[in-house]
């Protein structure tokens, strides 16, 4: 038993501790979190604009052309693999640019996320009774005020659980960032494995880090959701 434990420790030391290889994991963790947070911000901003424009078109008949363009945009983004979108962004759109690959990753994942955020918020908007818009207008509010004070707060409340799931998905999707040379967690494990010819500990360690990240996000997401519900009561 002691020999087995010593062997496991030796393998762990060789693959993670020796030559400060754990720093590769830490750098990958930093890039993973940075890309996920940046992409979520981009996704929420773009997705919110898309969903509000589409809801306004549905309720008031405005922005018809823009709404159709956004429908096409959402269908294209949701209908194509995120890895292809990432590679097109890096190797085609930013081919001649000197922009950092992490920024390209944030943009690519943010655009991908925006389509899903738009659909999440659209579902939130659709869950609200149309009579609430008319009630707000009858009280003297304009449509913008109805959106701000009545519709959007309720849509956010309905959409919060799915938004938390979207962030968890983003964390896991960053595993493909290595396709454009970003040293994320998965890429870090590949680099370590290529030097040690041992894939077990690097992959298991990275898998555990992803598990901890997603678990913490899910737990905190539920707490934020509960606090939001209390504030809006």
Give the CATH number for residue 166: 1.10.3720.10
Q: What is the pTM of this model?
A: 0.86
Q: For residue 97, give its domain range.
A: 25-231
Q: According to the model, what pLDDT value does residue 233 have?
A: 53
Q: Does 8 reside within a domain?
A: no
Residues 82-138 pLDDT 10s: 999 999 999 999 988 888 999 999 999 999 999 999 999 988 888 888 788 788 888
Q: Helices (DSSP H) in the chain: which residue ranges?
A: 2-12, 22-60, 64-79, 82-88, 101-126, 131-138, 143-146, 152-173, 185-196, 200-231
Task: Say how many CA atoms lie within 13 Å of 58 toward its Cβ.
Answer: 15
Give the position of tokens 């908007």: 125
Q: Is 146 contained in some domain? A: yes
- Rounded CA-CA distance 109/87 in Å is 11
150 in any annotated domain: yes
- Give the C-alpha separation, 187 to 205, whole Å: 13
Q: Give the separation between CA 46 and CA 147, rounded to whole angstroms.
A: 17
Distance CA(153)–CA(92), nearest Å, equals 39
pLDDT value at position 16? 76
Instruction: Evaluate whether residue 3 is within a structural domain.
Output: no
Establish how many alpha carbons lie within 13 A of residue 185's alpha carbon, considering only the half-sphere containing its beta carbon.
22
In a domain, 204, yes or no: yes
Residue 12 belongs to a domain:
no
Q: Is residue 20 part of a domain?
A: no
Query: What is the SS3 assignment for 15?
Result: helix
Count of structural domains, the chain:
1
Check residue 35 and give its pLDDT.
94
Cα gap 181→105, rounded to integer Å: 10
**Local confidence pLDDT in tens for the 233 residues of the chain:** 666 666 666 777 777 777 778 888 899 999 999 999 999 999 999 999 999 999 888 888 888 999 999 999 999 999 999 999 999 999 999 988 888 999 999 999 999 999 999 999 988 888 888 788 788 888 888 888 888 888 888 888 888 878 888 888 899 999 999 999 898 999 998 988 888 888 888 888 899 999 998 888 887 766 655 655 555 55
In a domain, 11, yes or no: no
For residues 216 and 174, is the Cβ–Cβ distance under 8 A?
no
The answer to whether the beta carbons of residues 164 and 83 sit under 8 Å apart is: no
């Amino acid at each position: 038993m002691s020999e087995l434990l010593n062997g496991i420790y030796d393998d762990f030391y060789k693959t993670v501790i020796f030559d400060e290889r754990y720093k590769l994991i830490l750098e990958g963790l930093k890039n993973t979190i940075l890309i996920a947070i940046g992409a979520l911000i981009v996704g929420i901003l773009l997705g919110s604009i898309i969903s509000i424009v589409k809801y306004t078109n549905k309720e008031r008949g405005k922005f018809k052309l823009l709404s159709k363009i956004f429908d096409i945009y959402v269908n294209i983004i949701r209908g194509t693999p995120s890895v292809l979108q990432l590679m097109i962004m890096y190797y085609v759109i930013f081919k001649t640019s000197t922009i950092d690959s992490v920024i390209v990753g944030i943009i690519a994942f943010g655009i991908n996320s925006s389509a899903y955020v738009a659909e999440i918020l659209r579902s939130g908007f659709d869950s609200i009774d149309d009579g609430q818009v008319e009630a707000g207008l009858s009280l003297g509010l304009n449509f913008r005020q109805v959106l701000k004070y009545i519709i959007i707060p309720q849509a956010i409340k309905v959409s919060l659980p799915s938004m938390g799931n979207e962030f968890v998905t983003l964390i896991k999707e960053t595993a493909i960032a290595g396709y454009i040379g970003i040293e994320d967690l998965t890429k870090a494990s590949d680099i370590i494995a290529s030097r040690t010819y041992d894939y077990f500990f690097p992959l298991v360690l990275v898998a555990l880090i992803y598990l901890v990240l997603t678990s913490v996000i899910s737990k905190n997401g539920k707490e934020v959701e509960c606090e939001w519900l209390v504030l809006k009561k």
